[in-house]
Amino acid sequence: MSSSMNLNRSLVAGVLSAGLAVMAGCEKPPVDSEQTGYRGTGMQDVDNPRIEAENAALHAAPEARESVSSEGPRAGEIYQNVEVLEDLSVAEFTRLMQSMTEWVAPEQGCTYCHDGKDFASEELYTYQVSRKMLQMTRDVNANWDTHMSDNGVTCYTCHRGENVPSETWFEEPSSPKTQVAAGLGNVQMQNMASDKPAYASLPRDAFERYLLGHEDLTVEGDTVLPTADWSKSLKGTEASYSLMMHMSDSIGGNCTTCHNTGRLGQWDESPVQREISWHGIRMTRDINVNYMLPLEGNQPEARLGPTGDIAKVNCATCHYGRQLPLNGTKMVEDYPGLIGDEDPNFDYMQFGDLGTEGLSGDNG
């Protein structure tokens, strides 16, 4: 064997040895995983403690204010123009107002929503917004336990100390029609620079379709070949996946959080989180249609999107990358005034046509 071959082998061996030494010196990333479903299907929850530590402050619920007496005159008897919290005692009402200030406007204080000279005035648009948001919060806590169980929400769940929640969305300024007019062709809202959905190239109008509009999430059909009532398409599948990507990103999970990857279409073999998410989509539609859109007319231009629409909610607005907002802290237990009366006529099926047969196993 020639000396040059020996030299080459020595060099290769040296490089490999150096590489192995470097790899051996690297600390393995501290990642935790938990099996949540059938073996061999990849159904695992994976958590990275380093990332959790970095975001710990975002997911920590503030301490509740000291409790006060529920006895005494009602707020509606003492204060003018109280329409939502009129049944609370004056002490409870004051405590909740102080907490709301800390949750939503810690820098501006009471005058963020109130005229300092006349607290009953509705002159400020923020006054009208806060009233509508109180109605929404009480409604959600009373009627959407199919999604939230008994965890409930407060203003802090979404706002986290900010006037406007950081996780909201506006309608896209472009559309298939404007794309064609601009000579771009109909790109179906895809392959365009955007941070939604989850930085993927999928359609960007999934929120308009499913969290404001009432389109079905359609992916797979029941037969091998198309039939007369065939309603699934590649276009619809891509839009559905767009929303799924957003949902996974919003809760810090993946497909296996809600699906059995071996039988994606089967509800009876899916984790319970799938049904919870199914109700969550309907709840989000309810919030956007019945609480956000009605406020659009009195918003200042600076609060509107590029098409003139109001900011709306999606999964990230509450979750901020965690499966349970605020790590499951039940803040609302300390603020029962934020729990409204259950509506005996409430029907979650009215909030869209998503998977009307889904819970029996056909769709969703």
Per the CB < 8 A criterion, the answer to whether 75 and 89 are in contact is yes
pLDDT in tens, 150-178: 999 999 999 999 999 999 999 887 655 55
Q: 234 pLDDT band (50/70/90 cuts)?
A: confident
Question: What is the predicted pLDDT for the residue at 345?
Answer: 87
Which residue is listed with tokens 């029941």? 222
- Cis peptide before 29, with omega less than 30 degrees from 0? no
Residue 83 pLDDT greater than 50, yes or no: yes
| Across 98-118, average pLDDT | 96
Question: What is the predicted pLDDT for the residue at 331?
Answer: 96
C-alpha–C-alpha distance, residues 219 and 363, integer Å? 8
Could you give the domains of the chain?
49-360 (1.10.468.10)
Question: What is the predicted pLDDT for the residue at 362?
Answer: 37
Q: Six-digit token pair at 48?
A: 């990275």
Residue 352 pLDDT greater than 70, yes or no: no
Question: What is the predicted pLDDT for the residue at 351?
Answer: 74
Q: Which is nearest to 202 in space by CA: 250, 244, 164, 231?
A: 244
Question: What is the predicted pLDDT for the residue at 13?
Answer: 56
C-alpha–C-alpha distance, residues 244 and 46, integer Å? 18
Question: What is the predicted pLDDT for the residue at 27?
Answer: 56
Q: Which tops the pLDDT comparison, 170 or 191?
A: 170
Residue 274 pLDDT greater than 90, yes or no: yes
User: In degrees rounded to 5, what are phi and psi of residue 125?
Assistant: -65, -30
DSSP 20-82: HHHHHHSPPP--EEEE-S-TTTT-EEEE-HHHHHHTTTTTPPPPPPPP----SSBHHHHSTT-
Residue 263 pLDDT greater than 90, yes or no: no
C-alpha–C-alpha distance, residues 210 and 169, integer Å? 13
DSSP-based three-state secondary structure for 102:
helix
pTM over 0.85: no
**C-alpha distances in angstroms, 16 versus 2, 7, 11, 12, 284?**
22, 14, 9, 6, 54
